[in-house]
Structure 1
Amino acid sequence: MTAPDPRPIVQIDIVSDVVCPWCIVGFRQLDLALKEQNVLANLRWHPFELNPNMPSEGQNLREHIMEKYGSTAEQSQQARDRLTQTGAELGFTFNFNDDSRMVNTFAAHQLLDWAETQGRQHPLKMALFEAYFTNQQDVSQSQVLLDAAQAAGLDRDAARAALTSGDHIAPVREKQQFWTSRGVSGVPSMVFAGKYLVTGAQGAETYSDLLQRCLTEAA
């Protein structure tokens, strides 16, 4: 019989989209803080769509960023370079190119909702980040989603059934509404111990301080 892990556990809720680069950056920073503090996290990922009206064919990523934020091509490239460097420092690979696309993520959120019931939500989230950012795959496509599910240790046929059933449409919409009604308008948004909300990738030091605060209050 394996002895229980003696490390303290902190509940952390993360509102996120799988096509948000700062979400994986923020998580990697959080992971560093957890290791530094020798703390376990009870992680729950919650849905947020950066572009809920994105059509099925998606949009060229550079064009999308320039159109949405009014940035120039040079500024867009600088942002990609910065992300690529930041990701590399955290052990994550961003492979941006001229053909990178922004895609619709509603199906991905439905699959993540189902994966939570299977106890494999976090591995699926990581697989989807890798599929989109590292492998430049279209995470709006069923085949890509099923490949990610399988990589995360989920049954492929069960994942397909979850996607086609429509059973997770309403729950995802409800969860999105829950967070937006509480003022979440950007991601990543992390809630520590149900009380401390921080938005954006805030760095390992900030997350470490929050973890320490949670532990102190729990004690």
Structure 2
Amino acid sequence: MTAPLKIDFVSDVACPWCAVGLASLERALQRLDGQVQAELHFQPFELNPQMGPEGQDVAEHLAHKYGSTPEQQAANWEALRGRAQAVGVEFRKEGRGRVWNTFDAHRLLHWAGQQGPAAQLALKKALLRAYFGEGANVSDPQVLLQAVQACGLDGEAARAILAGDAHAAEVRAQERFYTSQGIHAVPSVIVNDRHLIQGGQPAEVFEQALRQIAAEPAQAGA
């Protein structure tokens, strides 16, 4: 008998550890195939909600936010690239280039979630790949539409969303909800609305945690 798991993956498409964490979580779920039945939902979190449409140079942004030097940033990026490669994700060697506003990306992810978990997962991965693998501007409507179409989703429906404010209120509400629940860093993985796994953990950590949660009596309705 497989144990049902509801997994809310709170994250931002501009978060490198979210890309690593998602790939690790997917590996863990593959290892647990036949033991758990996971339903994965992506929930919005903006690392830089006040970022303007022009974006900001990533080196300048990280220096201002964390006080890091160019040398430290380069070393951190190489370490991240290594962690990403270990779970099958390619990060662009040259880095991200600029930091962009991700609100429209979250609006499209909310819409994709209405099409089903598989559609939302596909779009999430396409957006992460565009930003971290290609250094693309994930606030650019054309980049967003390319990601949508690459997933086989309705490009015209997505274009209409980007032209207006559809799903803006829902995304803002979800952001406020998770912040009110104490989520201030991502990725934050919430299982069955009760268990929090924080950070871009290795697949082994996710696997162990999910296995333990699945074995709880509550999962069997006790």
Class of the TM-score when normalised by the shorter of the 2 chains: over 0.9
Question: Whole-Å Cα distance in 2 between the matches of residues 61 and 137 of structure 1?
Answer: 13
Asked if residue 37 in structure 1 is aligned to residue 36 in structure 2, the reply is no
* Residues 29 and 204, structure 1, Cα contact 8 Å, conserved in 2: yes
* Residues 188 and 200, structure 1, Cα contact 8 Å, conserved in 2: yes
Residue number in structure 2 paired with 1:69: 66
* Matched residue count: 214
- Partner amino acid, structure 1, of 2:140: Q
- Partner amino acid, structure 2, of 1:106: F
Question: Whole-Å Cα distance in 2 between the matches of residues 198 and 215 of structure 1?
Answer: 14
Question: Whole-Å Cα distance in 2 between the matches of residues 135 and 7 of structure 1?
Answer: 38
Asked if residue 210 in structure 1 is aligned to residue 205 in structure 2, the reply is no
Pairing 1:13-24 to 2, within 5 Å after superposition:
13-24=8-19
Query: Structure 1 residue 165: deviation in Å?
Result: 2.8
Asked if residue 121 in structure 1 is aligned to residue 116 in structure 2, the reply is no
Query: Structure 1 residue 101: deviation in Å?
Result: 0.7
Question: Whole-Å Cα distance in 1 between the matches of residues 23 and 95 of structure 2?
Answer: 26
Structure 2 regions of 5+ residues with no counterpart?
none
Question: Whole-Å Cα distance in 1 between the matches of residues 4 and 122 of structure 2?
Answer: 19
Asked if residue 199 in structure 1 is aligned to residue 198 in structure 2, the reply is yes
* Residues 27 and 203, structure 2, Cα contact 8 Å, conserved in 1: yes
Query: Structure 1 residue 96: deviation in Å?
Result: 4.1
Q: Deviations over 1:139-168 (max 9, x none)?
A: 000000000001111011011112223121
Query: Structure 1 residue 194: deviation in Å?
Result: 1.5
Secondary structure at 1:210 match in 2? helix
Query: Structure 1 residue 40: deviation in Å?
Result: 3.6
Question: Whole-Å Cα distance in 2 between the matches of residues 99 and 14 of structure 1?
Answer: 22
Asked if residue 156 in structure 1 is aligned to residue 155 in structure 2, the reply is yes
Pairing 1:129-140 to 2, within 5 Å after superposition:
129-140=128-139
- Partner amino acid, structure 1, of 2:178: W
Secondary structure at 1:166 match in 2? coil
Question: Whole-Å Cα distance in 2 between the matches of residues 10 and 180 of structure 1?
Answer: 22
* Residues 95 and 132, structure 2, Cα contact 8 Å, conserved in 1: no
Q: Deviations over 1:166-218 (max 9, x none)?
A: 12111110000000011000000000122111221122122111111121112
- Partner amino acid, structure 1, of 2:18: C
Q: Deviations over 1:51-101 (max 9, x none)?
A: 011111111112211110111111100110001111111111000426711
Residue number in structure 2 paired with 1:80: 77
Moved over 6 A (4+): none
Secondary structure at 2:79 match in 1? helix
* TM-score under structure 2 length normalisation: 0.92
Give the percent of matched residue pairs that are identical in Structure 1 and Structure 2: 45
Q: 1:95 aligns with which of 92, 97, 101?
A: 92
Query: Structure 1 residue 114: deviation in Å?
Result: 1.0
Question: Whole-Å Cα distance in 1 between the matches of residues 37 and 27 of structure 2?
Answer: 11
Q: For the aligned residues, what is the CA RMSD?
A: 1.4
Structure 1 regions of 5+ residues with no counterpart?
1-5
Task: Tell me: CA distance 1:98–1:180, structure 2 relative to 1, closer, same or farther (3 Å).
Answer: closer
Query: Structure 1 residue 44: deviation in Å?
Result: 0.3
Residue number in structure 2 paired with 1:175: 174
Query: Structure 1 residue 35: deviation in Å?
Result: 1.5
